Structure 1
């Protein structure tokens, strides 16, 4: 009788979903203390790495249930109101099951659908790397508190080796699992490395399953790869134009010198502001020898942008659409700032993302 009842319930659920057009259920079971009134929030991770709210449900006795329609598999995250952390999963057609402790959502067990099985396989495969990384962080913090420079340097070297291990693991996973949605995210992560091997990433993308290449996330990745190749060292820098602080349009082609530094930055970017004094020093030293700088701000507020220019003494030319990571950033495949490109007098990119002493050394080499 119990088996028959379960079968009838399954048929009823399927029929109900068919009538409403729903094709997925996401059921979660949580362990631990959950404050009364806590809600579970389902958010889509967009191809631009924004979090877009999809649905919110009440948690009852540690359980929650989302139902809806998903056309193609996409990365989503579930968060709990008032609690830290989140649970990444692939939302797709089927019955997805999640089991987790509220204080460690990142280590949830996810199953019930093909893409989430692949995601779980990836997480399990890199678990030892994550554990070692956490251990290194604790050791480095201890060494830093003791001002143990020798151990700090050794731990940095080990951390660099661990990053290489992770890069190799991710590369192997993408090669072996071309049908996985997570493989697209791994390629996008590789692309953010300033020293990324674009040719290798393009080859890995070409090897993805056709069903994955048609997703919106993969199409954005394809554009990013193309833009990355377009702005590789040795390529002609794409021209663009945007408003100056005074409101006039200025094109890159109109702002070039013997050597031109295109500097992507923003008033809200602390590393950018920390690097600005170095850029000011380089500019003052080499502007009379032919160095030009065009600052491209990714600010969202024009007043903040203009104030930062004045406060930091940035005397070169500036442009901004005041639209965060806008079309110019996408054209140059800029996913994080500071980012910069050094161009020769013909607009050919000869170096990228140099900072501090490396930037000055390169400019000194080009403008002796």
Structure 2
């Protein structure tokens, strides 16, 4: 899985990541399989006495456990299925404190300046160091966004395009940054945690094989492993040689097109699933533009299918990057095209013949160009 649909703005994408300052943080451990879950306790200290309750919030923003505040202390405890990222909230205060919780005793101190100190298992320190690195990317993206706004206000199109190129470069760097952290050794649960963000099937499968001796009993491992098997089964039913799903989608002017109407007048249709927030998708645009220029008169039709949740961001990306071919967007009220093409990540491509059969899939770069040439030049 290449880029998971979660980076829906210039500042919100891959922001569950950070620095690789691991060497001083990692525990010395072997590869024996440890129990994934167990009891945990968060022993907390506040800057001053207060009344009310403290809550531990999970990643779905649901209360996992809660406890009364006693003076300037609290004790949150319960049972974990596996380690995970949570937030501590005091009463109804808007400020929340991220903490990576492990099945162990952890001491936490909330300071007067609204910072959190954590003393306990290494996983939180690893995650905190990791996350601090991605914040640097976030700051850069915010700065670029503000400068682009000024350039637009001043009507400076050259400056705007340059800032967009820098923005796209940072997005690609974030993607590579995260992927590098996924493979960093020695392995800890954080490697597995980050895999949930998505990469190619081959990458995920390879990493699961690497992590299997340590983490096969963990729910996250089992979910990722199960998803790969489910996708493989779906692709078995919907792979090369199978009938392509006949979608009906609209373009930026609300005109509606079906795959059937497109393919009947073309020798080859190239479906390109992408999104405005996807750095790797953006980096593929020049290669697709080159294919369009080279093979459009030989019967190639490129059809970009955006998975953007926000159509406005999609339209902005269309104006900015000028992607090749016809550009359509997934209907959020009827995302059947995502399910029927087994789109678990992007970018993703399909080559479809005039008879509606899938001829190739998941090709990019030189491999894609070579296959298009093979199909149209012979």
Give the aligned partner of residue 306 of structure 2: none
1:23 to 27, 36, 39: 39
Give the aligned partner of residue 76 of structure 1: 86
Give the aligned partner of residue 277 of structure 1: 254
Deviation per residue, 1:50-101 (Å, 9 max, x gap) = 4443222345566543112224323333345544464443322212233456
**Residues 1-368 of structure 1: pairs in structure 2 closer than 5 A:** 23-29=39-45, 37=52, 39-45=53-59, 50-59=60-69, 63-80=73-90, 82-84=92-94, 86-100=96-110, 108-177=116-185, 179-191=187-199, 197-208=200-211, 210-227=213-230, 237=238, 260-262=245-247, 277-278=254-255, 280-281=256-257, 286=262, 289=265, 329=339, 332-334=342-344, 344=353, 345=355, 347-348=357-358, 350=360
Aligned partners of 2:178 and 2:352: how far apart in 1?
33
Deviation per residue, 1:16-68 (Å, 9 max, x gap) = xxxxxx8321134456999x75x4332333xxxx4443222345566543112
Does the 8 Å CA contact 1:236/1:347 hold for their aligned counterparts? no
What's the secondary structure of 1:207's corresponding residue?
Answer: helix
1:283 to 1:129, Cα distance in 2 relative to 1, 3 A: closer
Give the aligned partner of residue 308 of structure 1: none
1:209 to 1:226, Cα distance in 2 relative to 1, 3 A: closer
Deviation per residue, 1:282-328 (Å, 9 max, x gap) = 6696386599xxxxxxxxxxxxxxxxxxxxxxxxxxxx9x9x999x9
Does the 8 Å CA contact 1:262/1:341 hold for their aligned counterparts? no
Aligned partners of 1:60 and 1:118: how far apart in 2?
30
1:342 to 1:287, Cα distance in 2 relative to 1, 3 A: closer
Aligned partners of 1:146 and 1:84: how far apart in 2?
36
1:144 to 1:120, Cα distance in 2 relative to 1, 3 A: same
Aligned partners of 2:141 and 2:80: how far apart in 1?
35
Higher helix share: 1
1:71 to 1:131, Cα distance in 2 relative to 1, 3 A: same
Aligned partners of 1:154 and 1:111: how far apart in 2?
44
Aligned partners of 1:222 and 1:118: how far apart in 2?
24
Q: Which runs of 5+ in 2 are unaligned?
A: 1-37, 269-331, 363-371
Q: Which runs of 5+ in 1 are unaligned?
A: 1-21, 192-196, 239-252, 264-271, 292-319, 353-361
Residue 152 of structure 1, CA deviation:
2.4
Normalised by the length of structure 1, the TM-score is: 0.54
1:129 to 1:341, Cα distance in 2 relative to 1, 3 A: same
Does the 8 Å CA contact 2:246/2:260 hold for their aligned counterparts? no
Aligned partners of 2:80 and 2:340: how far apart in 1?
27
Aligned partners of 2:94 and 2:142: how far apart in 1?
18
Deviation per residue, 1:195-227 (Å, 9 max, x gap) = xx3323322332226332321112112233445
Higher RCO (CA < 8 A, seq sep 6+): 2
What's the secondary structure of 1:66's corresponding residue?
Answer: strand
What's the secondary structure of 2:211's corresponding residue?
Answer: coil
Residue 341 of structure 1, CA deviation:
6.5
1:333 to 1:61, Cα distance in 2 relative to 1, 3 A: farther
Aligned partners of 1:30 and 1:330: how far apart in 2?
51
Normalised by the length of structure 2, the TM-score is: 0.53
Residue 112 of structure 1, CA deviation:
0.6
